[in-house]
Amino acid sequence: MDGCEISSTVRDGGRVLTVVGDVDLGATEKLEAEISGAVEGMDPGSELLLDLAGVGFLDSAGTRALLNGADAVRAAEVRLAFVLSPAVGRVLEMTRLGPDAFGIDAPDWPSASA
């Protein structure tokens, strides 16, 4: 697969964005646009679930796109939740980006070993 595929579904009064493939420099505009578009029209307090279970590769540009997307979600006053693939979890652990960087409360978030 070249790049990533993103699909959007409505679920329980919220929305799920499912991302499959590689989230790298070539996918950042698409990912940010999809996240911003998903929160348009969502009610404050509803939830956007970003399902990254199908992501096999995440680079620094992709990480930045996730952070920018989280900013758009916060601006829309929508709650953000994640499903992480092992690859995404490793990158977030290595970069020490915790749930607070994304404005979420996630006690099972991957954490770097001390």
CATH of the domain at 75: 3.30.750.24
pLDDT of residue 102: 85
pLDDT band at 108 (very low <50, low <70, confident <90, very high): low
Residue 104 belongs to a domain: no
Which residues constitute the domain of residue 73? 4-98
- Each residue of 24-76: pLDDT tens digit? 999 999 999 999 999 998 999 999 999 999 999 999 999 999 999 999 999 99
Residue 106 belongs to a domain: no
Dihedral sign for Cα atoms in the order 56, 95, 62, 99: positive
Residue 41 belongs to a domain: yes
By mean pLDDT, which of 8-17, 34-43, 52-61, 91-100 is the weakest? Answer: 91-100
Residue 63 belongs to a domain: yes
Average pLDDT over residues 68-89: 93
Residue 113 belongs to a domain: no
- Sheet of 14-23: strand order equals 4-11, 14-23, 47-58, 79-84
Total structural domains within the chain = 1
